Amino acid sequence: MEKYDLILISQSDLVDYSGYSNLPLGRVDLYASLVYPRMVYFKGGFRSHLDVLNSIKNNKFYSECSPEERRNSLNIWNLPGFSGIHIANYLLQFGIHTKVINNYDSEFDQLEEVYNFSRNSGRSPLVGISSTFYLSYKEIKRLSKELRKIDPNMKILVGGAFANAETINKDAGGFEQHMRRCKVNYVLHAFNPEEDLKNLILQKRQGKPLKHIKNLTYLENNNFETAGFYCTESEWHDPVLNKTPALWDGIDLPFLNKTIQMRTVSGCSFSCAFCSYPSTAKGLHTTELELVEKHLQKILNIKKVKTIIFLDDTFNVPVDRFKGLLKIFKKYNFEWFSFLRVQYVDDEIARNMKESGCIGVYLGIESASDAILKNMDKRVTRADFLNGIKHLKKYGIISMGAFVLGFPGETEETLNENLSFIKMSGVEFYTFKEFYYMENTPVHEKRDEFGLSGIGSKWKHKTMAYEDIHPKIIQMFKKIKSSVFIDADTSLWYIAYLYDQGYSINEIISLQKEINSVVHDQIEGKYSDYHPAFNRIQNLLGTVCDHAAS
């Protein structure tokens, strides 16, 4: 077994379904917006759509399984996340060895084994938790508590998007109380903290002081009540895209099936009025195409890899760069998924996308109403969207249209425009997200014009309030028959993950239609574990298992 400097937990099974299941089903009207349409009530509790499949297929829910069984169950966090692999790849050039734990809840036995092995060999590794998918400290606290059962003296570090978001409107000193409460030793809070992480590990290895490392907060020892708390200087770093050599095939990735994620860009050149990403990422940073190709070659050297999910937020913009990428992709044999600004797609681009292996794309449509698109500063029209999707459909590229409902200016009429758009465009999948009001977004500047007040998920403006949205989502969910609903919290990754697990797109559509039909009946108050759709799901799963095995 190898000795590691860092064990990095990329993801964990973070939604507490049991919390929802403990609520009285008879009063579901009071909390329906939290559970529908994203969950199904099955065998005495609320379940994720994937866990319904686990129970029907294996007669066990994910939470009831041993770690090994969990690794073989369906769970969105079993899909290899990017941050852990990326950090391992970056650190390897400095001789720093990282063990990536992709999904803590499926791999904690392996974490314990690797940690103890290194500890018994005389060097306890630092244990990093990625907070990228967290929206509070709850999950950090849970993990830290469990990790300290392995070793109360473990050194725990937190980094990732949530740690960074905590410093946007607040001072880094605000970490102190949370670090003491959650028993965390270090937080690296930069948006691009790779260099700081390298410095932290090297300084610690040499027993040197940490005060010169940027963007770090730390407690001087494991006495969490009394230890001295320190904050170092904050400094912006550009992303390390062009400073990350392609060492992918040198990293141990036992959790990998066929799909891996990568990015070629950080940031975004648009400035949609509801989005904070351009301000947090500070502009668009790109990887040189030559280096992208080297990364691709190394990734495809990993024999198992057949599919890549590209994480670039606007993968096809700038258009010429995208054309260059497609030319490179066509030289290699793999399939891919990505985000796409569909208004920049013409016949030739769609053909090249298909020929280079594109299976499906996430379309940030946000709204199909020209009035709302204008308010959102999306710089696109409904007609542009329809035109682009026509090209995708011609070449059999599937798409998932993502909509944000309730943006200032939204009315019953503009919501109905989304309904007709989903039907007309023929997008295979759709998701709805409610507008989320953040202060560090352009819409905040226009709050007086829109009469916008409140914050986060609780807002009000001249034409709507947040409470109006969930009933509309349910109405639309019931009405849409031509396209398949996917939970916004899993979105394109749900499709890509099931595809990774051997399901064809048509099988995913059939399965999801059955799940949605159960949800539909539950919303009407009809609950039964003997719903005929569960039988049909069982038959579908049987077919898939047969062809996946052959």
Interaction site with ligand SF4 (CB under 6 A): 268, 270-272, 275, 277-278, 313-314, 364
Please say which residue, 216 or 365, places its beta carbon nearer to ligand SF4. Answer: 365
Q: Residue 491: which of ligand B12, ligand SF4, none does it interact with, CB under 5 to 8 A by kind? A: ligand B12
Please count the helices (runs of H) and the strands (runs of E) in the chain: 23, 20
Q: The tokens of 468 are what?
A: 């109006």
Q: Measured from the CB of residue 523, what is the shortest distance to ligand B12 in angstroms?
A: 20
For residues 161 and 75, what is the distance between their CA atoms, to the nearest angstrom?
A: 21
Whichever of 36 and 534 has its CB closer to ligand B12, that residue is: 36
Would you put residue 454 in left (φ > 0), alpha (ψ -120 to 50) or beta?
left
Please tell me the distance from the alpha carbon of residue 80 to that of residue 102, in angstroms, as a whole number. Answer: 6
Q: Give me the residues that bind ligand B12 (CB under 6 A), please.
A: 11, 14-15, 76-77, 79, 81-83, 86-87, 128, 130, 132-135, 157, 159-162, 164-165, 188, 192-194, 197, 239, 263, 277, 311, 313, 488-491, 493
Q: How far apart, in whole angstroms, are the C-alpha atoms of residue 209 and residue 187?
A: 16
Question: Toward ligand B12, which CB reaches closer, 318 or 426?
Answer: 318
Nearer to ligand B12, 304 or 331 (CB): 304
Q: What are phi and psi of 44, to 5 degrees?
A: 85, 10
C-beta neighbour count of 130 within 10 angstroms: 26
CB of 138 to ligand B12, least distance (A): 12
The 3-class SS string of 33-62 reads HHHCCCEEEECCEEEEHHHHHHHHHHCCCH
Please report how close the Cβ of residue 462 comes to ligand B12 at its closest, in angstroms.
25
From ligand B12, ligand SF4, none, which one binds at residue 271 (CB under 5 to 8 Å depending on kind)?
ligand SF4
> Which of ligand SF4, ligand B12, none lies near 76, with the C-beta cut-off 5 to 8 A by kind?
ligand B12
36, two tokens = 């529908």
User: In whole angstroms, what is the distance from residue 489 CA to residue 508 CA?
Assistant: 17
CB 260 within 8 A of CB 296: no
Nearer to ligand B12 by Cβ, of 369 and 441: the residue is 441
Closest CA to 521 of 507, 509, 531: 531
Residue 488's binding partner among ligand B12, ligand SF4, none (Cβ under 5 to 8 angstroms by kind) is ligand B12
Q: Which residue is nearest to ligand B12 (CB)?
A: 159
Q: How far is the CB of 424 from ligand SF4 (least distance, A)?
A: 23
Angle between helix axes 82-92 and 194-205 (nearest 10 degrees) is 50
268 interface partner picked from ligand SF4, ligand B12, none, CB below 5 to 8 A per type: ligand SF4
Minimum distance, C-beta of residue 273 to ligand SF4, in the bound complex (Å): 9
Nearer to ligand B12, 515 or 533 (CB): 515
Furthest-apart CA pair in the chain: how many Å? Answer: 67
Measured from the CB atom, the residue of 395 and 477 that comes closer to ligand B12 is 477
From the list ligand SF4, ligand B12, none, partner contacted by residue 193 (C-beta under 5 to 8 A by kind): ligand B12
User: What is the smallest separation between the CB atom of 267 and ligand SF4, expressed in angstroms?
Assistant: 8
Question: Based on CB atoms, which residue is closest to ligand SF4, 268 or 508?
Answer: 268
CA dist 219 → 126, 148, 152, 545 (Å): 14, 16, 15, 50
Q: Which does 357 bind (CB under 5 to 8 A by kind): ligand B12, ligand SF4, none?
A: none
